[in-house]
A = this chain, B = another copy of it.
Amino acid sequence: MQFSIQQNKLVDAVNDVMKAVSSRTTIPILTGIKISATHDGVTLTGSDSDISIESFIPAEEEGNQHVDIQKTGSIVLQAKFFSEIVKKLPKETVDIEVQDNFSTKIVSGSAEFNLIGLDPEEYPQLPQISDHHAFQMPIDLLKQMTRQTVFAVSTSETRPVLTGVNWRIEDRELICVATDSHRLAMRKAPIESGEISNITSVVIPGKSLNELNKILEDTNDLIDIVITDNQILFKTKYLLFFSRLLEGNYPDTSRLIPTDYKTEVIITAKDFLQAIDRASLLAKEGRNNVVKLTTFDNNSVQISTTLPEVGKVEEDVNCESLIGEELKISFSAKYMMDALKALDSTDIKISFTGAMRPFLIRPLDNDSILQLILPVRTY
């Protein structure tokens, strides 16, 4: 294998595939990045066996030559060193050549590195997924749906299936749900193009979705999504992102969501978020970061918390509307702030059905997203 490549293209592709490389893998060859050169261009691959990422740099694109292939072939180089080296090379062009015994020469300007490579034949094959049943979504919509749900997955391995986001497809609508059993985030959107396979409910590891969001740029270009029994593939022009799926049945969360309410508050999200954030300055030092909300007759709610031996905070926030029963309720400030940030909405509606029951937070005029939080017993 021998080629010359533009440094910035190489750096971008290395940064993408590095998202899948873990230094803690038990499979030694997966600490490496696989580099393959064909006459069409160069493909980099990184994998931790849960996530695998393939990034392609075309030899030529729109009349610009990115790679000059002198000899096709492939090699695996230690990711930790290769990724740092390519970033710090002095010139715009990098020459990479595999010599005897997988020894690989990397030359840029007067700097010459020789890295001991590994046999590319030992690198695992990526899953073979046919894209017959691909559906498409705009990349920015996919990223937004992930951002609005993935924060709510469980961080505990007690119930592994809750560490993922449940994707269900019903009537050409994608419904994303995440819950750690103390709160729940749901977002849905119609699928506008493509063919949906007969697998209509999967659980995607939260970590995979977080890494995918870091790699994808905010554009409204379409991304192909293919779901199989145990894998999901996200595919753009030059990128393949594979994730394994979580096994096990995702709980039915629909019955958790209350349909009636006893108290309903409409409030400016920003004012409410800032008041919670200030109360959290004391609450986060105490047990579970819990704040109290009390409704008042004068169309306002009070956010308060007391931290023994330190002090207390009280703040009244005006509501746009406050109807129904009087209420005192306690909840996690962190969960509320996460939910408010995910909603991306100016005005929000909070629907309570009593101090001991889960409550709903929604945008004022948008049914495609909801956040649910379980209160904390303090009264």
Contacts and interface: CB of A to CB of B under 8 A. Distances in A.
A313 B114 contact: yes
Interface in A113-136: 113-116
Given A110-B315, A111-B315, A112-B315, A88 B278 contact: yes
A282 interface: yes
Given A110-B317, A316-B110, A85 B278 contact: yes
Interface stretch (A248-256, A304-312, A323-331, A353-361): A304-312
Nearest to A115: B311
A90 interface: yes
Interface string A266-307: 000000001101100110010000000000000000000000
Given A313-B112, A315-B110, A81 B274 contact: no
Contacts of A282: 81, 113
What's the interface size class on A, roughly? Answer: 20 to 34
Nearest to A281: B84
Contacts of A309: 116
B88 A277 contact: yes
A314 B277 CA distance: 53
Contacts of A38: none
Contact of A274 (B90, B115, B116, B274): B90
Contacts of A90: 274, 278
Nearest to A315: B111
A312 B314 CA distance: 63
A210 interface: no
A114 B312 contact: yes
Contact of A310 (B88, B115, B274, B316): B115
A78 interface: yes
Contacts of A112: 313-315
Contact of A111 (B85, B88, B110, B313): B313
Contacts of A281: 81, 84-85, 88
A85 B237 CA distance: 48
A316 B111 CA distance: 7
A103 B312 CA distance: 11
29 contacts: A78-B310, A81-B281, A81-B282, A81-B310, A81-B311, A84-B281, A85-B281, A88-B274, A88-B277, A88-B278, A89-B278, A90-B274, A90-B278, A110-B275, A110-B317, A111-B275, A111-B313, A112-B313, A112-B314, A112-B315, A113-B282, A113-B311, A113-B312, A114-B311, A114-B312, A114-B313, A115-B310, A115-B311, A116-B310
Interface of A: 78, 81, 84-85, 88-90, 103, 110-116, 274-275, 277-278, 281-282, 285, 309-317
